[in-house]
Amino acid sequence: MKPSEIYRQTVRHFLSPIAPLLNDDDVSEILINGHETIFFEKAGRLQLSDLAFPDEPALMAAVRNIAEYVNRVVDRDHHSMDARLPDGSRVHVIIPPSSRGGPHISIRKFKRSTFDLDSLVQWGSLSAAAAEFLKVVIVVHKNTIISGGTGTGKTSMLNALSTSIPEHERIIVIEDSSELQLNQPHTVYLEAQPASPDGRGRVSIQDLFVDSLRMRPDRIIVGEVRRGEALDMIQSMLSGHAGAMTTTHANTPLDAMIRLETMCLMSGVEMPVQVARRQVASAVNLVIQLRRYDDGSRRVHSIDEMLELDESGMYVAKTLYEFRSTGRDAAGRLTGEMHWTGEVATFAHEAYALGLGDMIDLSRDALPPPDSTPPNLTADSKPGSQNGS
């Protein structure tokens, strides 16, 4: 029996108390708050289950088994751990005394991506015109940030966007814990590694980013930027490695830019704030803002083009598409769709210069041909530019 199969069976054995949740494809997250309290997310809503582990030692045995599978340590000297299950599901563990109520395990279940941007249109998360626009953005190699809060579907959106990457490109994927599963044949996956108990062997996202630049990438995808590796990513975007994609936690496009700026300043490289801000503004072309609404739905809230800094040195976001609600249906679910705001992308001419005119139909308003006259705003359209520091 292969070691991977042995671990699959042993991990399943130790997690058998929550097997019904692990086996339910509609459950997206499992939150274990001590051995007796287990919540799960289904259809975008958290619910309390009637499942439990026999006792705290049984739950700790599961924690140690997961740690062994990913060759990591969790003990009094290592209070928390990021890991994954054999099926790829993401796991975070924190143990006493840091967690007062016993071991806490958060499991973000892995689902192999079988959908693309058109699937998001079918589910109502995106309009057909906005989906077409994003396909063009990917092919034109615009640097794209997916922004949103926890559980808004950032990784799923990144997977969906990746399906529009041409198959001939060499893609380097860099992650803290492997989640992305691209369909392109020439994809290289790199995963960060924590230090061993003796303090050696740590490989950071920043280390892997430096490695990736020497691997002849056509495109670099970072699962999520959280720290100083943001500076390496921003500088690579500015030095010829266009078409990068990543995710970050932020509630608005402008907040996403500020967060990237802050992370650049955490890199250990001393630089004035204004220099970091100018680099971020020059590197990032587009921010896709996701939001989870109170009915449990996850939608693309807006698609913003990021412009150069204004005269006062502030970020400027131009909203090209935005979600507009029309109310709620009989079941209380939010209704509405994404609309073009009347703004035109500044890079429209690049798409036509690359011979992509045949791709552009529904999104022609936002990507007009070079010889066309600017479209008129409709009565319900509004300018989409925003300023912020």
Please report, rounded to a whole number, the percentage of residues in the chain having pLDDT higher than 90.
60
Residue, of 196 and 81, whose pLDDT is higher: 81
Q: What is the pLDDT of residue 378?
A: 47
Inform me whether the pLDDT recorded for 382 exceeds 60.
Answer: no
Question: How many residues does the structure list for the chain?
Answer: 389
Q: What is the pLDDT of residue 380?
A: 46
For the segment 276-292, what is each residue's pLDDT rounded down to a tens digit?
Answer: 999 999 999 999 999 99
Under 8 Å between Cβ of 148 and 194: no
Among 254, 180, 262, 177, which Cα is nearest to 220's? 180
What are 319's strand-pairing partners?
304
Taking CA atoms, 191 is separated from 83, 172, 211, in Å, by: 11, 11, 12
Computed over every residue of the chain, the mean pLDDT equals 89
Q: What is the pLDDT of residue 195?
A: 74
Taking CA atoms, 252 is separated from 255, 304, 318, 353, in Å, by: 5, 10, 12, 31
Task: Indicate the CATH number of 3-108 among 3.40.640.10, 3.30.450.90, 3.40.50.2300, 3.40.50.300.
Answer: 3.30.450.90
Q: What is the pLDDT of residue 184?
A: 86
Across the range 133-153, mean pLDDT stands at 95
CB neighbour burial string for 67-100, b if at least 16 within 10 angstroms, e if fewer: bebbebebeeeeeebebbbbebbbbebebeeebe
CA distance 133 to 365: 10
- CATH 3.40.50.720 corresponds to the domain 117-388: no
Locate the domains of the chain by residue range: 3-108, 117-388
What are 215's strand-pairing partners?
none
What are 92's strand-pairing partners?
82, 106
Inform me whether the pLDDT recorded for 179 exceeds 90.
Answer: no
Window from 48-57, 147-156, 163-172, 360-369 with minimum mean pLDDT: 147-156
Q: What is the pTM of this model?
A: 0.81
For the segment 214-240, what is each residue's pLDDT rounded down to a tens digit?
Answer: 899 999 999 888 888 899 889 888 888
Q: What is the pLDDT of residue 379?
A: 40
* pLDDT band at residue 113 under the 50/70/90 scheme: low
For the segment 63-99, what is each residue's pLDDT rounded down to a tens digit?
Answer: 999 998 888 888 888 899 888 888 888 899 999 999 9
Among 107, 287, 88, 72, which Cα is nearest to 180's? 88
| Tokens coding 291 | 């939001």
